[in-house]
Amino acid sequence: MKKTLLALAAIAASSASFAQSSVTLYGVVDASLESVKGDKTVTRVTSGNLATSRLGFKGTEDLGSGMKATFNLEAPVTVDTGAAGSTFWDRQAWVGIGGGFGELRLGRTDSSIGDIAGNVLSAQAYDDLKLLGTRGGDSYRRVSNAVTYLLPTLVPGLSAQLQYSTGTGGSATPAGEVAGSSEGKAYGLSVKYAAGPLSAGLGYLNAKDESTGTAVKDKANATLVYAGYDFGAAKVTGYYDAETTGLNSKRFTLLGAKVAVPVAPNFTVIAGLSTARNTEGSAAGDDNVQITTIKAIYDLSKRTAVYGMFTNVNNDTGTLYGVSGGPTVSVADKTTHGIAVGIRHAF
């Protein structure tokens, strides 16, 4: 009898322990058939046009006294070939601890400006923030070696974070820390507000010595702001991005707007229009780009959707832009475009 009671007590204690922690397996599988025009036109099956295909693990453990431990590991997957990214846990690889003071995370994660570009405004291959190579949507979409502090929620709907990276690992910077140098170091912050129909936010990035291997200090900075309002019949979002383009160059700016219309209970159409100026930092003023996007998304269920999308890029006489990952564009003052239909499933 005593042995039975001891066994039951052990099982109860074990169950209580497991109840204090949880690990979630999740992911997205997104594939589409697309036709993309650059110098030539290519038709292919591709991955991640609506949402990046991925496989992830995230977990939390209750430490008591309002404290918790958290972690997130997330890897990109290309559905068309089955290949993983060049860095396996490229999307997320961090561990953190949180409580009434907020949350502190260490490791690779979204940059403060990249969180807004990718998770609020969208920065996939057919989106302006990605195809124009903005820092929030592309080169600093995520940062390695980061210390990220999420402030506690003091006002309902308001969130903010501060971030510092000792070596960003972005496409233009070293993958890690450089002894005795500021190359690759960056800091950023973001503030977001969402309550009722109103949403707004600001993200900022400052990266030191972006151009590696040079004697000249080439600091990079970018600011991205947005505001949106849901009128019921349509949600309108406007955004503005301003960035340095290099030493002694004109400042790059991007002004855009999106309108999301719920045509039916499960069917949404999103139209976007944006104009970018000084994309190459040229003083000649012939490096501007206009981008038009249309996305139609039909939800078959809470997890599965079918979609169609179209992006048109109107280049000026000094620009060579097209859908990200599409055919090379080598002739300036040319209109390029991409069209895709696909399926996205989340689990």
56-68: pLDDT as tens digits: 999 999 999 999 9
The set of residues, in sequence order, having a beta carbon less than 8 Å from that of 269 and lying 6+ positions away, is 260, 261, 263, 294, 295, 296, 297
Are 135 and 112 in contact, with CB atoms under 8 Å apart?
no
Q: What is the pLDDT of residues 18-57, one digit of tens each?
A: 447 899 999 999 999 999 999 999 999 999 999 999 999 9
Token pair 């190579």 is found at 133
CATH entry 3.60.21.10 includes domain 23-346:
no
Q: Is 334 helix (H, G, I), strand (E, B) or coil?
A: coil
Break the chain into its structural domains and give their ranges.
23-346
Mean pLDDT of 140-145: 93
What distance in Å separates the CA atoms of residue 338 and residue 313, rounded to the nearest whole number?
9
Q: What is the pLDDT of residue 242?
A: 97
Between CA 123 and CA 32 the distance in angstroms is 17
pLDDT tens digits along 275-321: 999 998 876 668 999 999 999 999 999 999 999 999 999 999 989 99
Lowest mean pLDDT among 6-20, 31-45, 121-135, 224-238: 6-20
pLDDT confidence of 124, banded at 50, 70, 90?
Answer: very high
What tens digit of pLDDT does each residue of 161-185 get? 999 999 876 544 445 566 656 677 8
Residue identified by tokens 């510092």 is 164
Model confidence at 213: pLDDT above 60: no
Element of type H or E holding 263: strand 252-264
- Residue 210 has a pLDDT of 66
